[in-house]
Amino acid sequence: MCRVLELARGRAAPALEAYRVYAEGRYGISSSMERLSSTLAPRPSVDPCLALEEIRAGVNRGVCILGPHTPPSLEGCPALAGPEPAVHHALAQGRRLLYLTTDLDMSLRLLGMAEYGSWYKLVHVHGDNHYRLSLARGWSGVLYTSQVDNPYTLPVGGFTDGDRAVVVALILGAPWVRVIGFREGEAAWYKDYSLQKEGKVWVAHRIIEHVASRLGYSVERRGWSLELISPRLHGGMGTRH
């Protein structure tokens, strides 16, 4: 196992823990089903070690995670990443995402944008989306992620594509992560907002806060925007127990 993959797996432990605490208990999700699904992941279309090294280097000056309601100006964002709608916002500014997090339930419009709108695609494999995995066939830069520890995927935890994008930046040691473009009570333009979605957003926030705390990040909240500051800026890096 290469060093960056070993580092990522080690620092992902708080994310897997947060998923078990906040998601499995609330929604009655079966870990065994998640593990079974993760074995169905195809081979990645890129060397995982090379991809993670490049993503790690890309977030090394900080990264902005873009939500569905991202403002038109992305000034001050050296790198961009995020869930499916982030592709649209990056391309609108003439930029590409460093990485996209998706479980492939995106609109056809975004599905078409994903290949040229992001350098890396972190495709999440879980209990009820294995039939969609063929949609990523032909994409470049694909890595597969999961919510459980296993040898077939990169286990980054997370519950939604949005919090998963944040968690990836945290476990790869970004000095700061700025989360913008998410609004309470509003979903992406191609999805309906519901009480179920509201519950998922609550879980996503708890996961981000849990992982940030365990990895030593400070969290500043400005409405639904978040700024997470790394312990690298406070004299060290590690995992808090």
**Domain boundary assignment for the chain:** 3-234
**pLDDT at residue 240 tops 60:** no
Instruction: Report whether 86 contacts 113 (CB < 8 A).
Output: no
Q: What is the pTM of this model?
A: 0.89
Q: Residue 155 has what DSSP assignment? A: E
- What 3-state class would DSSP assign to 190? coil
User: How many other CB atoms are found less than 10 A from the CB of residue 209?
Assistant: 18
* Percent helix / strand / coil, the chain, rounded to 5: 40, 15, 40
**Strand 118-124 and strand 97-102: pairing?**
parallel
- Closest to 173 in 3D by CA, of 15, 39, 35, 57: 57
Give me 222's structure tokens. 């400005």
Tens of pLDDT, residues 44-76: 999 999 999 999 999 999 999 999 888 888 989
Tens of pLDDT, residues 8-19: 999 999 999 998
The order of strands in the sheet holding 142-146 is 154-155, 142-146, 118-124, 97-102, 80-82, 63-66, 176-180, 225-229, 218-222
